[in-house]
A and B are shown apart, each in its own frame.
Chain A
Amino acid sequence: MRVPLSWLREYADLPPVTPRDVAEKLIGVGLEVERVQSVGHEVKNVVVGEVLEIEELAGVKKPMRYCRVEVGEHEARDIVCGATNFDVGARVPVALPGGILPGGFEIGVRKAYGRMSEGMICSARELGLGEDHTGILVLDGDPPIGADAVELLQLRDDVLDIDVLPDRGYCLSVRGLAREAATAYGVGFRDPASADLPAAEEGSYPASIADPTACDRFVLRAVSGFDPTRGTPLWMQRRLTLAGMRPVSLAVDITNYLMIELGQPIHAFDGSKLHGEIVVRRARPGERLETLDHVVRELDPDDILITDSSGPISMAGTMGGLSTEIDDASTDMVVEAAHFSAAGTARMSRRHRLSSEASYRFERGVDRELPLYASAKAVRLLAELGGATVLPGRTHAEVDTPRTTITIAADHPGRVAGTTYGRETVVRRLRDVGCEVDGGDTLTVTAPTWRPDLRDPNDLAEEVIRLEGYQKLPSVPPQAPAGGGLTPGQRLRRRVGQALAAAGYVEVLTPPFLSGQDWDRLHLPPDDARRRCLEVANPLSEDEPLLRTTLLPGMLRALLRNVGRGFPDVSLYEMGLVYLPLEGAPAPPRLPVDRGPTQEEIASVDAALPDQPHHVAVVLAGDRVPAGWWGKGREASWADAIESAREVARAAGVDLTVSADQRAPWHPGRCAALVMDGQVVGHAGELHPRVTQAYELPARTCAMELDPSRVEAATSGPAEPPRLSAYPVATLDVALMIADDVPAADVEDALRSGAGELLESIRLFDIYTGAQVGEGRRSIAYALRFRAPDRTLTAEETTAARDAAAAEAARRTGAVLRGG
């Protein structure tokens, strides 16, 4: 809402303070003044002149005049002018040399068409007074020659741009803002809505309300003999322009002007285009209406319409119909001002994606009393400015609507604020906002008709507290009971993030929106559960309507972006939710809000939501260790991806075992299932070459993804330290020949269980393949460390344990002891 300060001052007796001061005061009472725009303050040296002589210049392609203009100086000025809409004797605004026009445009003496031009005769647009540039501005009513035109035309103003919050519909008007400003300064306020109403209630144009839920007040006034050639007065154009509206025509400008001044949307019909009684009702099936924007709209049975015997003629409080539009020949008008349902206009506006100045106001609540006054002011202006005759009478259809009264303890505002105001202050402040207040310790408060938002005791408390000043609120430190700190899951997620970052991964937060093509790029089989996902009904991008069931696509895009920006060696991690819809989930029930839901009701709502576990994932490509003066680098590999899962496991204090697996999007021969406490918690390895290709990733890009909540489930309480043996360690190596397809992890498991309790640790230290071990086989060597808690081990004991380990490996995996 843009409001010129001069318009506010017309109705509020503001002291002579700066616009900035007014803005600060309004901010203090809760209006979001976005900015204060200063208008016309740069304009100077524009005076009233009288045209003394006109010489039509010959030999110029377009009409051009050389005028002698009396400007009240010792000598008249000669000025070249391209307009022809004036005669000798006209009073016109003249920008003198050294003068400045809006936008900082400087006027000087210059040569034009072979003549010296000492200034400029201005059009309305050149003065910032509207759109008119068809000719120069001829001033009405003989203003004195040499008078300051800046003063005369009120070229200087300040416009407050205010973001009006949805509960303050009444501030979408000069009326509301002037009232707030007057209260903030504690000065007088004149209500612009006061107007003389016709005494009699006899009808002017027949109308009725058929649906009382759609409209509770409908007022019509009529005029005839309007002169459609009359233009909108400059002052009105000026105010409309400053308020951000384009002047259109006198009749339309009057309705817009009153809407901004009062907050009441007004619609004028061409009376000659109406047929029969006007009825306010909901739409009927199949009805349509061509609105003023030339769109034919299919109407919904919930739409609120103004109709006559021809059918719909207007979408109530939203946009008028084309068939009854005022045109440049209209002389008879029926002016409508009504109070439509806020929810009804909101739904209609949303349904048709049609937001207008009118619907914007109705949605936010319009004063139910205004239609009577606004319509009276409208016909008066049509008469005064447009030469129309106001027809007697007024149509007033109404649905009885009781006013809201609120009962509130006089000390309630103080108890909400944490301070004491006293009954007198509370009553005075409530009266400031327009409430009627009765009672003693308990107040009965009737909210003013322009404040439909005031319904509850806390609404009234806010009014008192804001007018007394939020700045006066005391500050009391919180005294929370002792808390339990972070949950184990929250602590684990932090540790995992720290561990991965310490291991060289950079965290990313990628958007969760995916494309259906991602499933194919990932080479997910048709029945893969990850393809079953949620879809956004109104996605930002039509290409990416799906919600992620895996973190990888977004991360691969981030990886690719880094590579594209010149960083080929990238290791990224992300932690975030994925959304896994439950099969056959019902729509959630709409629970009531006037009581708390039962456990069953909460469960029924939650049953409609997807499972939303945290996932943690890494992607990496390029060199994991770069080449340098120390020697060769090392490419990121499947092993790094698995190692990242070990980082997670270590952060969680859980043992991770891996086994070979085949799962998209990983390379079928380089994919590990990550197992914790017997549960598969995720996968890691190198991506399938075709996935790499589909995303245009660097060759051998690797990835890991797991569910840390399952990791958390695998954690096993507090750790206990081992008893530390002071006896010496005995080390023996064992080299085994195994078939290529036997996983090393199985061999290690077998060795571990065969070696028995004396085994302290085991470590794979070498793998050998080649002619000596033969085709399809490999030799793997382990270092075994033995130690007893109570004695020094003998060579015989150690060897026996080593041999038992090898025997178990042979039994389980077919391993053959080399050199044994």
Chain B
Amino acid sequence: MSASKQSYDPVEVTPLHPEEVARMRDEALGAIAKAADLDELKHVRIAHAGDRSPLALANREIGALPPAARADAGKRVGAARAAIAEALRARETELEEERDRRALAEEAVDVTLPWDRAPRGARHPLTTLQERMADVFVAMGFEIAEGPEVEAEWFNFDALNFEPDHPARTMQDTLFVAGASGGEDSGVLLRTHTSPVQVRALLARPLPVYVVCPGKVFRSDEPDATHSPVFHQLEGLVVDEGITMAHLRGAIDAFIAGMFGEGLATRFRPSYFPFTEPSAEVDMQCFACRGASVEPGAPPCRACKSEGWIELGGCGVVNPWVLVSAGIDPERYSGWAFGLGVERTLMFRHGAEDMRDMFEGDIRFTLPFGMEV
């Protein structure tokens, strides 16, 4: 007694009429479109896509149709249900996005609020500048040599060809360490320049020697805008076979290119240092105005004080007597040395105007420099 065997008039199965299927589909699509939120959509889903929905019920009637009509009706109902499922998916995505938008909008904050809880730190620009200057030479293959700040007079003066009573010795305003008797004749002092490291490097290292020596030096200068009893120098030293002033000039050109940019001219002026002969002062063309500020009517230049040139430091050919004091044969070896002031470099490179600011420890001076200069 199977239902399929019963004989029905197909016209009798109203829900499967094409018009009826279309109507049910459109009704469902209308309800989906009208669903205002996910809850409503849930009810719509049950009503129009659930097991008891009109189309689901109609689907059950297909079996009642004559076999020739079944395929057609099945296709019709299937297409309608697929359209409804697709509409439900689309509407659901739409409503979910809307819900999320609302919820996240409620969680919005003022991202511009300050969060300055962690204290800011900084390295001292003299430290970072000194590192940067040394690194230009390190990149050329130089090594960094260091030496004591409380130094023997022999290293600071004698070995550097300062004769005992020569005015060059007194020019340096030395701070002496008191000996047992309290006097200035202890033979120990606060080094007045980084040059004693030259001698130490020559005594301690195998030849050839290519070193830079950055460090603190001391003079009995009253502090003012351009003087400090403690300041920093960077010294360079090369001792090798066949070294000439041309190598010195090349090294300084390379340093300037690495530190201040390519294409800056240098100017060598004769000078005097006991530990170099010949000696020179070296100026470089101003990296800021490139000399333009000296022209009449040109805007003033802070870096070079509108002189077009900046004094970089002193240099020269290592005096053969220095090599002798370090036990090196001056007939076979020669060298060059240069020295420059780190504070002065900070002043012209960064526009720092008062040297005292560098040593007071005021955080306002140091903070803007951050971690590197």
Bind each other? yes
Q: A residues engaging B (CB < 8 A)? A: 27-30, 32, 165-168, 342-344, 346-347, 350, 363-364, 415-419, 456, 458-459, 461-462, 465-466, 470-471, 473-478, 480-487, 490, 494, 497-498, 500-513, 534-540, 545, 547, 555, 557-559, 561-562, 565, 567, 569-573, 575-577, 579, 587-588, 590-591, 593-597, 602, 605-606, 608-610, 612, 624-626, 628-630
> Closest 9 interchain pairs by CB?
A596-B327, A30-B270, A418-B246, A558-B361, A418-B244, A480-B141, A504-B119, A462-B278, A508-B361
Given contacts A473-B246, A480-B210, A590-B158, are A507 and B180 in contact (CB under 8 A)? no
Question: B105-118 CB contact bits vs A (8 Å, 1 = yes)?
Answer: 00000000111111
Instruction: Point out the residues of chain B lying under 8 angstroms from A347, CB to CB.
Output: 165
Is residue B151 contacting chain A, with contact meaning CB distance below 8 A?
yes
CB-CB contacts below 8 Å: B118-146 with A: 118-124, 126-127, 131, 138, 140-144, 146
Q: Is the CB of A579 within 8 A of B167?
A: no
Q: Is the CB of A509 within 8 A of B270?
A: no
Instruction: Point out the residues of chain A lying under 8 angstroms from B121, CB to CB.
Output: 500-507, 571, 573
Given contacts A536-B190, A587-B186, are A572 and B325 in contact (CB under 8 A)? no
A623 closest partner in B (C-beta): B119
Q: Is the CB of A415 within 8 A of B161?
A: no
Given contacts A458-B317, A511-B230, A538-B175, are A167 and B272 in contact (CB under 8 A)? yes
Instruction: Point out the residues of chain B lying under 8 angstroms from A606, CB to CB.
Output: 152
Q: Is the CB of B142 within 8 A of A462?
A: no
Interface residues on B, range: 35 or more
Q: Is the CB of B118 within 8 A of A537?
A: no
Give the distance to chain A from B226, nearest Cβ to Cβ, in Å. Answer: 14
Q: How many Å lie between the Cα of A559 and that of B362 in the bound state?
A: 8
Instruction: Point out the residues of chain B lying under 8 angstroms from A466, CB to CB.
Output: 270, 278
Is residue B333 contacting chain A, with contact meaning CB distance below 8 A?
no
Is residue B348 contacting chain A, with contact meaning CB distance below 8 A?
no
User: Which of A343, A465, A537, A575: most chain B CB closer than 10 A?
Assistant: A537
Give the distance to chain B from A3, nearest Cβ to Cβ, in Å. Answer: 18
Instruction: Point out the residues of chain A lying under 8 angstroms from B116, CB to CB.
Output: 626, 628
Given contacts A476-B247, A593-B324, are A364 and B280 in contact (CB under 8 A)? no
Q: Is the CB of A476 within 8 A of B158?
A: no
Instruction: Point out the residues of chain B lying under 8 angstroms from A629, CB to CB.
Output: 113-114
B162 closest partner in A (C-beta): A593
Question: B341-373 CB contact bits vs A (8 Å, 1 = yes)?
Answer: 000000000000000001111111011000100
Instruction: Point out the residues of chain B lying under 8 angstroms from A507, CB to CB.
Output: 121-124, 127, 366
Give the distance to chain A from B267, nearest Cβ to Cβ, in Å. Answer: 7
Given contacts A462-B277, A477-B251, A478-B250, are A569 and B166 in contact (CB under 8 A)? no
Q: How many Å lie between the Cα of A490 and that of B143 in the bound state?
A: 11
Q: Is the CB of A612 within 8 A of B148?
A: yes
Question: B273-301 CB contact bits vs A (8 Å, 1 = yes)?
Answer: 00001111100000000000000000000
B336 closest partner in A (C-beta): A478
Question: B213-253 CB contact bits vs A (8 Å, 1 = yes)?
Answer: 00010001110000001100000001000001111011101
Give the distance to chain A from B373, nearest Cβ to Cβ, in Å. Answer: 12
Known pairs A342-B165, A476-B246; list 13 more (Cβ under 8 Å): A480-B210, A487-B143, A490-B146, A501-B122, A506-B120, A507-B123, A540-B229, A558-B361, A567-B363, A572-B363, A587-B188, A588-B154, A608-B188
Instruction: Point out the residues of chain A lying under 8 angstroms from B127, CB to CB.
Output: 497, 507, 509, 575
Instruction: Point out the residues of chain A lying under 8 angstroms from B229, CB to CB.
Output: 511, 513, 540
Among the listed A485, A538, A561, which residue makes an inter-chain contact with B143, where contact means beta carbons less than 8 Å apart?
A485
Given contacts A462-B278, A629-B113, are A166 and B149 in contact (CB under 8 A)? no
Q: Is the CB of A168 within 8 A of B272?
A: yes
A467 closest partner in B (C-beta): B270
Is residue B92 contacting chain A, with contact meaning CB distance below 8 A?
no
Instruction: Point out the residues of chain A lying under 8 angstroms from B155, CB to CB.
Output: 605
Among the listed B117, B142, B278, B325, which residue makes an inter-chain contact with A461, where contact means beta carbons less than 8 Å apart?
B278
Q: Is the CB of A597 within 8 A of B203?
A: yes
Q: Is the CB of B190 within 8 A of A477?
A: no
Instruction: Point out the residues of chain A lying under 8 angstroms from B166, CB to CB.
Output: 166, 343, 346, 363
Q: How many Å lie between the Cα of A480 and that of B247 in the bound state?
A: 11
CB-CB contacts below 8 Å: B20-46 with A: none
A-B contact pairs, 14 of them (CB 8 A): A30-B271, A166-B171, A473-B268, A478-B140, A478-B141, A478-B250, A483-B143, A487-B143, A509-B230, A512-B230, A537-B179, A540-B220, A540-B222, A628-B116
Q: How many Å lie between the Cα of A100 and that of B229 in the bound state?
A: 46
Is residue B71 contacting chain A, with contact meaning CB distance below 8 A?
no
Among the listed A343, A418, A559, A628, which residue makes an inter-chain contact with B117, where contact means beta carbons less than 8 Å apart?
A628
Instruction: Point out the residues of chain B lying under 8 angstroms from A559, CB to CB.
Output: 361
Q: How many Å lie between the Cα of A594 and that of B11 in the bound state?
A: 131
Q: How many Å lie between the Cα of A575 and that of B215 in the bound state?
A: 12
Instruction: Point out the residues of chain B lying under 8 angstroms from A486, CB to CB.
Output: 138, 144
Instruction: Point out the residues of chain B lying under 8 angstroms from A572, CB to CB.
Output: 361, 363
Given contacts A462-B277, A537-B176, A610-B150, are A510 and B124 in contact (CB under 8 A)? no
Instruction: Point out the residues of chain B lying under 8 angstroms from A29, CB to CB.
Output: 270
Instruction: Point out the residues of chain B lying under 8 angstroms from A602, CB to CB.
Output: 203
Given contacts A501-B122, A609-B150, A630-B115, are A416 and B362 in contact (CB under 8 A)? no
Q: Is the CB of B164 within 8 A of A478?
A: no
Q: How many Å lie between the Cα of A29 and that of B187 in the bound state?
A: 36
Instruction: Point out the residues of chain B lying under 8 angstroms from A166, CB to CB.
Output: 166-168, 171, 272
Instruction: Point out the residues of chain B lying under 8 angstroms from A485, CB to CB.
Output: 138, 143
Is residue B95 contacting chain A, with contact meaning CB distance below 8 A?
no
Q: How many Å lie between the Cα of A485 and that of B143 in the bound state?
A: 6
Instruction: Point out the residues of chain A lying under 8 angstroms from B328, CB to CB.
Output: 596
Instruction: Point out the residues of chain A lying under 8 angstroms from B119, CB to CB.
Output: 504-505, 569, 571, 624-625
Instruction: Point out the residues of chain B lying under 8 angstroms from A569, CB to CB.
Output: 119
A511 closest partner in B (C-beta): B230
User: Which of A29, A470, A510, A606: most chain B CB closer than 10 A?
Assistant: A470
Q: How many Å lie between the Cα of A16 and that of B199 in the bound state?
A: 48
Instruction: Point out the residues of chain B lying under 8 angstroms from A590, CB to CB.
Output: 153-154, 158, 187
Q: Is the CB of A536 within 8 A of B327?
A: no
Q: How many Å lie between the Cα of A471 and that of B279 in the bound state?
A: 13
Q: Is the CB of A458 within 8 A of B319?
A: yes
Q: Is the CB of B362 within 8 A of A565?
A: yes
Is residue B208 contacting chain A, with contact meaning CB distance below 8 A?
yes
Is residue B308 contacting chain A, with contact meaning CB distance below 8 A?
no
Q: How many Å lie between the Cα of A508 and that of B365 in the bound state?
A: 10
Instruction: Point out the residues of chain B lying under 8 angstroms from A510, CB to CB.
Output: 359, 361
Q: How many Å lie between the Cα of A535 and that of B189 in the bound state?
A: 10
Q: Is the CB of B210 within 8 A of A481?
A: yes
Given contacts A505-B121, A597-B203, are A608 and B152 in contact (CB under 8 A)? yes
Among the listed A418, A474, A480, A628, which residue makes an inter-chain contact with B238, where contact means beta carbons less than 8 Å apart?
A480
Q: How many Å lie between the Cα of A511 and that of B326 in the bound state?
A: 32
User: Which of B113, B119, B319, B325: most chain A CB closer than 10 A?
Assistant: B119
Q: Is the CB of B138 within 8 A of A465?
A: no
Q: Is the CB of A536 within 8 A of B178?
A: yes
Among the listed B203, B221, B249, B279, which residue makes an inter-chain contact with A473, where contact means beta carbons less than 8 Å apart?
B249
B328 closest partner in A (C-beta): A596
Is residue B2 contacting chain A, with contact meaning CB distance below 8 A?
no
Instruction: Point out the residues of chain B lying under 8 angstroms from A596, CB to CB.
Output: 203, 324-328
Q: How many Å lie between the Cα of A473 and that of B268 in the bound state?
A: 9
Instruction: Point out the residues of chain A lying under 8 angstroms from B123, CB to CB.
Output: 497-498, 501, 507
A602 closest partner in B (C-beta): B203
Q: How many Å lie between the Cα of A196 and that of B138 in the bound state?
A: 63
Q: Is the CB of B253 within 8 A of A165?
A: no
A560 closest partner in B (C-beta): B361
Instruction: Point out the residues of chain A lying under 8 angstroms from B56, CB to CB.
Output: none
Q: How many Å lie between the Cα of A456 and that of B178 in the bound state?
A: 36
Q: Is the CB of B371 within 8 A of A502?
A: yes
Is residue B183 contacting chain A, with contact meaning CB distance below 8 A?
yes
Is residue B184 contacting chain A, with contact meaning CB distance below 8 A?
yes
Q: How many Å lie between the Cα of A524 and that of B142 in the bound state?
A: 43
Q: Is the CB of B327 within 8 A of A595?
A: yes
Q: How many Å lie between the Cα of A503 and that of B151 in the bound state?
A: 34
A31 closest partner in B (C-beta): B270
